[in-house]
């Protein structure tokens, strides 16, 4: 297909390499080196989308990442990406893009009727219009707003691509590779500093690639290519092209996104789509350039209105004529270059319209030689046309009332001056300051080790950029320890002088009402700014939120300064008094995927497996996640065996015979030292000084606020040697807790400890036949007399070194065997072998939980951080004659008074029905309509195979004194209600005779 608006030569595109792409279902061709925007313009396509609120036709305003309008859906299916800027998408073969926010088609959009109802959609309209009745919010308003206003839609399929995260340290980070950045990077690198230079484009050079400027007597782009070669040749330089530094954080940490594979249809094998860089430079040179401001006039959003710099970028860099008949409207010298460059590209430039009375004489003379008319003291008051500009109405800027002057044109190139890109400077914590000469904000005092140079500092002259870049590069190298001889900056070709007179908003023709857009992406008009100010939202922070100006995906790059200048005008205050909102990361939209990086799906968290995991897997165990651990939940013996059948069978075999469970995941901490006993004595509520060697004891730890923190058994292995166990969930927090007290509160205690969770495999052998089983493999006497309840001993299991603990979580006669983890699987298999003849079975966490409820052991669901030892029936253990953590605060009056939730047992009174976890406990006096009438809740529930009915543990108001009472367990979400009896939490063997048998 013909590229009617492409020049036959010139630019940085490769005409020998055509690229086919598709936009809104139509096929087009561009060239390598194009962006999607430049390729569409080459084909005469200007209409790119419909606006956010009014569905007005929109075209291409800019040629860079500041683009508010030309945002499209890129790619299809799982790789579809909404709201991508056509101006930054590198063209690739097979590219498919779609315009957004229009129905049924881009040129005929039904919702454009919003444009007629615009008085209803003014600033803050959603606070005013969509208020009442409340019931309309979810059913009507939300749908209306979602459908009418909005941008692209995300893919509902999973992203098939990979994202990567990298970290890099360097001496000097240079952000931006325009003339200033390139000079700085070369200077610092030549002195030996490790340099990273990042730029969002493929080719380094910045404005040198899009302007007709010369450096050292060469075309700017050639000079930039030379400098790039220099950098490539140096080992101490890392060039990050296609990389946008989007965040400047505390402690001089910056983040950047590298678009590794966005310029191809599908990433090459092994390549990520994007890469996130966390950068740790010692010095930062910000050479991020500047962004041009559009002029504010009537219908200034019409396709055909384009930033002056963008128009000449399309002409110079891409060999594209952005229009056929152009006018250039400006308030500064810079835009004259657009008229000249467009003229040289073959665009008919009808006039330069300069709002100033006294334009720059050399520029005026240059226009004259090119026969371009110069109109002064006027500006564009309004653009007219349907879906594209057809003519401009010129009005006086000098207050003269006159007939508007009509000029037919299809391109209005506009410039209201330049804003230095102070975003990173502001993000670093510094405050930009208003400068009267450039009529914009420039960097203020640095707060971190950064310096802005060139256009980013408000110095727009090319020689200034080169000089400042060189100086900053040298200085940054020096500050990081690299000195060298001073060199002269390269010589820039003459690019004139930048001078400007402010023009913040144009008068309208005949003073008629026009839509004058400040923020084109969010459809915020100058009148919205004025209305917000009238309604009292006259600070920048409030205005931004009320009008949503600057809150689009472009973050108001082209609209912020214009908006606050208009606000200042409305308030009658100088611009510095109005101030500017703080810039926040990210500078450009960054996909969530790159923040997630590797950590998605299976890689979201590491997986911890016990030594017995492979055996469990072979048995067909069903696993459950416990923190990072995978634990066997139950072991189906046949395909059809349900979880219920399994846990009943596994529980019964434990209670009646013998069964084994993998308890490796319990936290294990080895504690040694002369003060180990004293340390434990302070950690636990009960007494540890008199625990005999070879004995275990159950202990409860409190937090400093008096709530129960954790529980477990700790064994004394020697005079100065203990072995602590914690719950699975609290293994890490308990260790940190101990380290805190040991290092900060009681450093005088001579004790050392470390986690040995991974070093030992834990196997519990439980059931009336457990001793019989173990006697076959253990080399010490484990008769009840020699090895009573709570005994601990070293032994050998077959030939494996082991520790044996006679402790029980199930409530049966039981032992826990610990073997070094490397022997874990072997020990387990040998135990299974030894127990085969008596019918030993494995059991998982499901029967483990069942048996702990039957036995009334509290666990994580009762130790919820809000329960005291008293609430849990564990207060009797506390030894108040000694000091321990939480002792004082656990005795605060409110914690001792009536009305506390206390642990109770609950029995289902309806055969065949079990309690539901989370169900509320209510007595007969209350109705079901309010949770505030809840007297507690069910914390853990099971069917009890031993008792034959549903039981639970719960936390019930004053529960300890309510045993025998009948109440309801209700589950209002499902309208369920179950009659239950409150009882003692220990359902089985309350005297503990079984464990001592």
Partner 1 sequence: MLRIECPWCGIRNEDEFSYGGDASVQRPSDDASEDEWYDYVYTRNNPAGDHTEHWQHVNGCRAWITVVRNTVTHQISSTAPASPHLPIGLKSVNKSKGAK
- Site of interaction with partner 1 (CB under 8 A): 249-253, 278, 280, 429, 447, 704-705, 736, 739-740, 743-747, 883, 887-889, 892
The whole-angstrom separation of Cα 938 and Cα 955 is 6
Exposure of 894 by Cβ count < 10 A (0-12 exposed, 13-18 middle, 19+ buried)?
exposed
Query: By the 8 A CB rule, do 45 and 18 touch?
Result: no
Give Cα 59 distance to the centre of its chain: 31
Instruction: Supply the minimum distance, in Å, between the C-beta of residue 429 and partner 1.
Output: 7
Angle at 311 between CA 564 and CA 32, to 5 degrees: 125
Give the CB-side neighbour count of residue 414, counting CA atoms within 13 A: 31
CA distances from 897 to 101, 122, 844, 892, 954 (A): 62, 58, 40, 9, 19
**Least CB distance to partner 1 at residue 880 (A):** 11
CB-count burial class (<10 Å; 0-12, 13-18, 19+) for 601:
exposed
Closest among 419, 422, 425 to 62, alpha carbons compared: 419
Phi, psi for residue 803 in degrees, rounded to 5: -120, 140
66 or 710: whose CB is closer to partner 1? Answer: 710
Considering the complex, state which of residue 279 and residue 326 has its C-beta at the smaller distance from partner 1: 279
Beta strands 708-718; 721-726: pairing state: antiparallel
* Cβ 255 to partner 1 shortest distance, Å: 9
Where does residue 299 fall: left (phi above 0), alpha (psi -120 to 50 degrees), or beta otherwise? Answer: left
Closer residue to partner 1 (CB): 121 or 708: 708
Q: Which is nearer to partner 1, 512 or 598 (CB)?
A: 598
- Least gap, CB of 738 to partner 1 (angstroms): 11
Q: Please list the residues that pair with 281 across neighbouring strands.
A: 170
Shortest reach from residue 684's CB to partner 1, in Å? 15
Shortest reach from residue 753's CB to partner 1, in Å: 11
Instruction: Compute the distance between CA of residue 216 and CA of residue 491 in angstroms, rounded to an integer.
Output: 5
Given the complex with partner 1, which of 644 and 740 has the nearer CB atom? 740
Least distance in angstroms from the C-beta of 957 to partner 1: 25
- For the chain, the straight-line distance linking the first and the last C-alpha, in angstroms and rounded, comes to 92
What is the rounded distance in angstroms from the CA atom of residue 517 to the CA atom of residue 57? 13
Q: Which is nearer to partner 1, 278 or 656 (CB)?
A: 278
For the CB of residue 705, give the shortest distance to partner 1 in the complex, in Å: 5
Contacts of 856 (CB under 8 A, 6+ apart): 903, 905, 953, 984, 985, 986, 987
Query: Nearer Cβ to partner 1, position 766 or 885?
Result: 885
- In the bound complex, what is the minimum distance in angstroms from residue 703's beta carbon to partner 1? 9
CB of 902 to partner 1, least distance (A): 23
Residues 967, 981: Cα–Cα separation, whole Å: 6
* DSSP line for 715-732: EEEETTEEEEEE-STTHH
Candidates 662, 571, 667; CA nearest to 619 is 662
Pairing status of strand 195-198 against strand 237-240: parallel
* Nearer residue to partner 1 within complex by CB, 229 or 743: 743
CB of 890 to partner 1, least distance (A): 10
Contact indicator for 501, 379 with CB cutoff of 8 Å: no
Token pair in block for residue 988? 């089985």
CB nearer partner 1, residue 253 or residue 926: 253
Nearer to partner 1, 747 or 912 (CB): 747
3-state SS class at 138: helix
Q: Which is nearer to partner 1, 348 or 882 (CB)?
A: 882
């Amino acid at each position: 297909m013909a590229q009617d608006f492409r020049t036959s030569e010139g630019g940085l595109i490769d005409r020998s390499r055509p690229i086919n792409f598709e936009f809104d279902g139509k096929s087009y061709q561009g060239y390598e080196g194009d962006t999607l925007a430049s390729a569409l313009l080459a084909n005469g396509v200007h209409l790119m989308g419909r606006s956010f609120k009014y569905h007005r036709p929109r075209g291409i305003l800019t040629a860079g990442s500041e683009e508010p309008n030309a945002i499209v859906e890129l790619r299809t299916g799982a790789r579809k990406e909404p709201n991508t800027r056509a101006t930054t998408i590198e063209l690739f073969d097979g590219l498919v893009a779609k315009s957004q926010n229009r129905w049924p088609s881009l040129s005929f959009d039904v919702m454009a009727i919003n444009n007629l109802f615009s008085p209803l959609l003014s600033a803050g309209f959603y606070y005013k219009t969509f208020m009442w009745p409340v019931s309309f919010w979810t059913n009507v308003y939300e749908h209306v707003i979602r459908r009418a206003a909005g941008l692209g839609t995300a893919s509902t399929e999973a992203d098939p691509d990979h994202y990567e995260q990298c970290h890099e340290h360097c001496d000097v980070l240079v952000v931006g590779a325009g003339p200033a950045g390139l000079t700085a990077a070369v200077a610092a690198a030549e002195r030996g500093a490790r340099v990273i230079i990042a730029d969002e484009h493929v080719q380094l050079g910045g404005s040198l690639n899009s302007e007709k400027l010369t450096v050292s007597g060469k075309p700017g782009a050639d000079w930039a290519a030379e400098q790039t070669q220099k950098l490539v040749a140096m080992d101490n330089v890392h060039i990050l092209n296609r990389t946008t530094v989007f965040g400047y954080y505390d402690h001089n940490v910056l983040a950047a996104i590298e678009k590794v594979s966005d310029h191809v249809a599908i990433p090459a094998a092994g390549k990520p789509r994007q890469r996130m860089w966390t950068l740790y430079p010692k010095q930062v040179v910000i050479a991020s350039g500047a962004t041009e401001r559009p002029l504010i006039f009537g219908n200034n959003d019409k396709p055909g209105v384009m930033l002056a710099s963008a128009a000449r970028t399309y002409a110079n860099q891409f060999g594209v004529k952005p229009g056929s008949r152009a006018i250039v409207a400006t308030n500064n010298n810079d835009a004259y270059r657009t008229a000249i460059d467009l003229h040289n590209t073959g665009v008919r430039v009808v006039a330069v319209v300069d709002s100033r009375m006294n334009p720059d004489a050399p520029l005026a003379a240059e226009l004259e030689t090119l026969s371009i008319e110069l109109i002064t003291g006027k500006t564009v008051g309004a653009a007219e046309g349907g879906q594209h500009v057809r003519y401009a109405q010129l009005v006086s800027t000098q207050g003269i009332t006159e007939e508007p002057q009509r000029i037919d044109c299809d391109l209005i190139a506009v410039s209201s001056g330049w804003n230095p890109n102070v975003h990173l400077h502001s993000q670093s914590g510094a405050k930009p300051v208003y400068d009267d000469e450039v009529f914009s904000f420039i960097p203020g005092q640095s707060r971190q080790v950064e310096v802005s140079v060139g256009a980013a500092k408000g110095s727009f002259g090319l020689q200034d950029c080169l000089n400042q870049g060189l100086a900053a590069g040298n200085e940054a190298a020096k500050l990081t320890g690299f000195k060298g001889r001073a060199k002269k900056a390269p010589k820039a070709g003459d690019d004139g002088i930048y001078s400007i007179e402010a023009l913040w908003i144009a008068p309208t023709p005949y003073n008629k009402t026009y839509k004058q857009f400040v923020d084109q992406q969010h459809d915020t008009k100058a009148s919205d700014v004025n209305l917000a100010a009238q309604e009292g939202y006259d600070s920048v922070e409030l205005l931004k939120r009320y009008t949503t100006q600057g809150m689009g995906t472009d973050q108001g790059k082209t609209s912020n300064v214009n908006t606050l200048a208009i606000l200042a005008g409305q308030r009658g205050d100088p611009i510095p008094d109005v101030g500017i909102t703080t810039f926040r990361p990210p500078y450009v939209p960054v996909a969530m995927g790159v923040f997630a990086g590797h950590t998605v799906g299976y890689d979201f968290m590491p997986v911890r497996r016990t030594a017995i995991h492979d055996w469990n897997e072979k048995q067909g165990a069903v696993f459950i996640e416990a923190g990072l651990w995978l634990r066997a939940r139950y072991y189906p013996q046949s395909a059809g065996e349900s979880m219920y059948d399994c846990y009943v069978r596994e529980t019964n075999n434990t209670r009646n015979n013998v069964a084994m469970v993998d308890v490796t995941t319990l936290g294990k901490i080895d504690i040694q030292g002369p003060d180990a006993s004293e340390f434990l004595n302070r950690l636990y509520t009960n007494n540890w000084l008199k625990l005999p060697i070879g004995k275990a004891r159950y202990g409860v730890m409190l937090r400093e606020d008096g709530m129960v923190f954790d529980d477990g058994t700790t064994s004394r292995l020697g005079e100065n040697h203990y072995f602590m166990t914690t719950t699975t969930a609290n293994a890490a927090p308990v260790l940190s807790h101990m380290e805190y007290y040991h290092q900060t509160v009681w450093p005088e205690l001579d004790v050392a400890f470390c986690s040995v969770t991974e070093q030992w495999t834990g196997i519990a052998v439980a059931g009336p036949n457990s001793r019989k089983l173990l006697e076959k493999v253990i080399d010490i006497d484990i008769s009840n007399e020699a090895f009573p309840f709570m005994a601990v001993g070293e032994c050998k299991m077959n030939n494996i070194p082991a520790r044996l603990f006679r402790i029980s979580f199930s409530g049966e006669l039981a032992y826990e065997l610990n073997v070094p983890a490397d022997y874990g699987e072997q020990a387990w298999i040998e135990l299974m072998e030894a127990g085969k003849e008596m019918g030993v079975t494995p059991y998982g966490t499901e029967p483990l939980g069942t048996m702990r409820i039957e036995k009334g052991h509290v666990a994580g669901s009762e130790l919820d951080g809000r329960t005291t030892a008293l609430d849990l029936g564990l207060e009797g253990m506390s030894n108040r004659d000694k000091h321990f953590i939480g002792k004082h605060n656990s005795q605060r009056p409110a914690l001792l008074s009536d009305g506390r939730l206390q642990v109770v047992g609950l029995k289902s009174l309806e055969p065949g029905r079990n309690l539901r976890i989370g169900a509320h406990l209510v007595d007969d006096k209350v109705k079901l309509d309010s949770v505030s009438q809840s007297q507690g809740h069910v914390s853990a529930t099971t069917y009890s195979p031993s008792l034959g009915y549903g039981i639970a543990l719960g936390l019930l108001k004053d529960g300890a004194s309510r045993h025998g009472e009948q109440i309801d367990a209700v589950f209002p979400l499902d309208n369920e209600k179950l009659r239950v009896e409150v009882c003692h939490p220990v359902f089985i063997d309350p005297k503990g005779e079984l464990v001592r048998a």
